[in-house]
Amino acid sequence: MSDVNTKAHHHEAKADADYAAEKLRLECEKLKAEIDALFHAARQRKWESAERISKIAAAVLIPLLLAFATWVIQLRLATNSANQEYVKVAVSILAAKPDPAQEQLRSWATQVLNEYSRIKMSAPVQQDLNTGKLRLPFVLTDERGNVITDEAGNAITTEQTPNAASTNKAARPR
C-alpha cells in the first residue's frame, strides 16, 4: 500500500506542480500584457510629446522665419533704393557742364555708375567722363521715373554738343 500511496502522492504532487505551472504561466502572460500596454502607452506619450513640441516649435519658428525673411527683403530694398539714389546723383554730376575743379567728383560719379552697371564702361569712356570730354545726356523724368517727352513724343534731355574728337559718343535716349 505504500507503493499505492507513493503513486497517489506522486500523482497529487504532479497535479499540484502542473496547477502551479499553469498559474505561473497565466501570471507571466498577464505581466507580459501589462508590460506591453506600458510600452505602448510610453510610445504613444512619446509621439504625443513629439507632436506637442513640433506644434510649439512651428508656432514660434514660423513667425521668426517670416520676420527674418521680411527683414532681408527690406534690407535689400533699402540697399537698392540707396544705390538708385547714388546712380541718380552720379548721372546728374556727369550730365552737368564739366568744371575742371570737379574732376575728382566726376571720377567718383563715374566709379558709382560703373559699380552699379551690368555692362562696365571701358577705361577710355571712364577717362572721357572724368575729364568732361564726354557728358551723359540727362533725361528728365517725373517723380515716378517716367521719361518726360515733348509734343512729338521725344524724350527731353539736357543740351550737349557732342565732342567730335572724342571716340565715345553718347547715345540719344529713345
**Model pLDDT for residues 20-58, shown as the tens digit of each residue:** 888 888 888 898 988 888 888 888 888 888 888 888 888
Check residues 16 and 126 and name the one with the higher pLDDT: 126
**CA 111/CA 135 separation, integer angstroms:** 15
Q: For residue 35, is it within any domain?
A: yes
Check residues 130 and 145 and name the one with the higher pLDDT: 130
Q: For residue 148, is it within any domain?
A: no
Q: For residue 160, is it within any domain?
A: no
Q: For residue 96, is it within any domain?
A: yes
Q: For residue 157, is it within any domain?
A: no
Q: For residue 118, is it within any domain?
A: yes
Query: What is the mean pLDDT of the segment spanning 45-73?
Result: 89
- Number of domains present in the structure of the chain: 1
Q: For residue 64, is it within any domain?
A: yes
Domain extent at residue 110: 7-131
H or E element, residue 131 = helix 123-131
Q: Is-contact 138 122, C-beta < 8 A?
A: no
Q: For residue 167, is it within any domain?
A: no
String of DSSP letters for 130-164:
HHTSS----B-B-TTSPBPB-TTSPBPB------T
Tell me, yes or no, if the pTM score tops 0.85. Answer: no
pLDDT-based confidence at 2, cuts 50/70/90? Answer: low
pLDDT for the residue numbered 166: 39
